[in-house]
């Protein structure tokens, strides 16, 4: 009886949502439910037990990733990415279809407590960074480009390689920084050091300070620096940006702001304002959302990026305004991260056996889901990348955007 009730609930819930595609769901009781209009490649998934099926229906945003990682939701035809793309594509096509009452209640509770859960103090921020970025360089070497860029690439043309697109991203950022020879640059959240090295080697920075909270990233960045010939131009430091007390001509932050936490936006921009010289320029590159403020995806928050949050512009700009900084340019990179994640996911899957040997099968399933879910979210949800250029003075940046292409062309000739 319980199995029949679960199947009926699943049938009713997914019938309203899955209007296109071909999806077969084998329930825990062994019944096969069919959804969609029959278009596209057929997909089939199976629930191994009744509690897995119940969890999917009552809290899909958290439970879907857990069930896949635990082997309780099994794709039997098609991949987990195919399933996620089908579901999120149908969600986008039918925004009027609301989750059931239990799922809405779980989301409401997360939204109401989001500031409390994002208490990213200096100590907690370091712990959150270590959770993801200190997993071992050998893992990241399996799927990143040869410059270890772990953020959204910039695809200038169709078919561009990941290496070319990541180089284009660095070039695009450097152009927007309006770097002058000899200027001092701060890179907040410098990762493995690739952007800092580019700004010094190619873009003409006088000095670059890169700060990170990841001990493994720091070690790799310093090792890369030692292999070059930059004569003290670049320094990498294990440091929270809040502990800095200096002045810089330029500040850049790529893929770090997502870890700041909503409650710390004012502190972040106010401190950047103190660090930036009066004629300075800052470039913030962050994942964000084009919709209304929401909460972090609970599965990503729990397993991949604890303390993370994706802002909307309506959450970013008030904190910028209160800091005394001025927005001089905003660019929204749409689908660039979806293409980046496609490259990462394909490379990851090509070397899946090596990931299993490094960790175990469960870790591999978790990261498969992470890469697949993020790619699908960038393709079908309101997730994008914002590049926000900031200054103190209104006349610091040129009055038109022609300078970006001009500076990019000049940098190409130097690469």
Contact 266, 318 (CB under 8 A): no
Is residue 374 part of the annotated active site? The answer reads: yes
**Residue 90 vs residues 20, 21, 205, 300: alpha-carbon distances, Å:** 7, 9, 47, 21
Distance, CA of 8 to CA of 30 (rounded, Å) = 13
> Which residues are registered as beta bridge partners of 44?
24, 77
Contact 263, 115 (CB under 8 A): yes
Give the CA dihedral 17, 311, 345, 162, nearest 10 degrees.
Answer: 130
Contact 218, 189 (CB under 8 A): no
Closest alpha carbon to 200 in 166, 236, 168, 241: 236
- The residues, ordered by sequence, that sit 6+ positions from 303 with a Cβ below 8 Å of its Cβ are 65, 69, 366, 370
First to last CA, the chain: 68
Name the DSSP class of 278.
Answer: E
Q: What is the DSSP string of 134-154?
A: TS-HHHHHTTS-TT---S---
Residue 42 is inside which H or E element, if any? strand 42-47
Q: Give the per-residue SS3 of 352-411.
A: HHHHHHHCCHHHHHHHHHHHHHHHHHHHHCCEEEEEEEEECCCCCCCCCCHHHHHHHHHH
Cα-based angle 222, 279, 249 (whole degrees, multiple of 5): 10
Distance, CA of 8 to CA of 18 (rounded, Å) = 15
The catalytic site residues sit at: 374
């Amino acid at each position: 009886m319980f199995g029949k009730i679960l199947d009926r609930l699943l049938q009713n819930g997914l019938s309203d949502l899955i209007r296109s595609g071909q999806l077969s769901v084998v329930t825990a009781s062994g019944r096969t439910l069919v959804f969609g209009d029959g278009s596209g490649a057929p997909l089939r998934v199976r629930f191994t037990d009744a509690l897995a099926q119940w969890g999917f229906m009552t809290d899909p945003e958290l439970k879907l990733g857990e069930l896949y990682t635990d082997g309780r939701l099994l794709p039997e035809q098609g991949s987990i990415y195919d399933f996620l793309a089908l579901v999120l594509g149908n969600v986008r096509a039918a925004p009027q279809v609301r989750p059931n009452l239990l799922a809405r209640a779980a989301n409401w509770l997360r939204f109401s407590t989001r500031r409390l859960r994002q208490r990213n103090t200096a100590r907690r921020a370091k712990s959150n960074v270590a959770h993801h970025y200190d997993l071992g360089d050998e893992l990241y070497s399996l799927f990143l480009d040869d410059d270890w860029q772990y953020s959204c690439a910039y695809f200038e043309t169709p078919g561009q390689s990941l290496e070319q697109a990541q180089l284009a991203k660095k070039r695009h950022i450097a152009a927007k920084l309006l770097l002058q020879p000899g200027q001092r640059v701060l890179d907040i959240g410098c990762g493995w050091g690739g952007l800092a090295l580019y700004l010094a080697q190619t873009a003409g920075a006088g000095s670059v300070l890169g700060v990170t909270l990841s001990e493994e990233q720091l070690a790799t960045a310093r090792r890369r620096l030692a292999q070059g010939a930059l004569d003290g131009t670049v320094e990498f430091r294990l440091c929270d940006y809040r502990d800095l007390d200096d002045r810089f001509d330029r500040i850049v932050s790529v893929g770090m702001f997502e870890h700041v936490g909503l409650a710390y936006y004012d502190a972040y921009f106010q401190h950047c304002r103190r660090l930036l010289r009066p004629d300075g320029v800052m470039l913030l590159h962050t994942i964000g959302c084009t919709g209304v403020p929401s909460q972090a995806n609970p599965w990503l928050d729990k397993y991949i990026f604890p303390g993370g949050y994706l802002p909307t512009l309506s959450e970013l700009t008030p904190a910028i305004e209160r800091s005394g900084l001025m927005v001089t340019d905003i660019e929204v990179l749409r689908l660039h991260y979806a293409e980046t994640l496609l490259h990462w996911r394909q490379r990851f899957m090509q070397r899946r056996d090596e990931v299993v040997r490094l960790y175990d099968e469960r870790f591999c399933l978790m990261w498969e889901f992470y890469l697949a879910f993020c790619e699908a979210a960038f393709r079908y949800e309101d997730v994008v990348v914002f590049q926000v250029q900031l200054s103190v003075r209104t006349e610091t940046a040129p009055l038109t955007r022609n300078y970006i292409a001009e500076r990019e062309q000049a940098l190409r000739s130097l690469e």
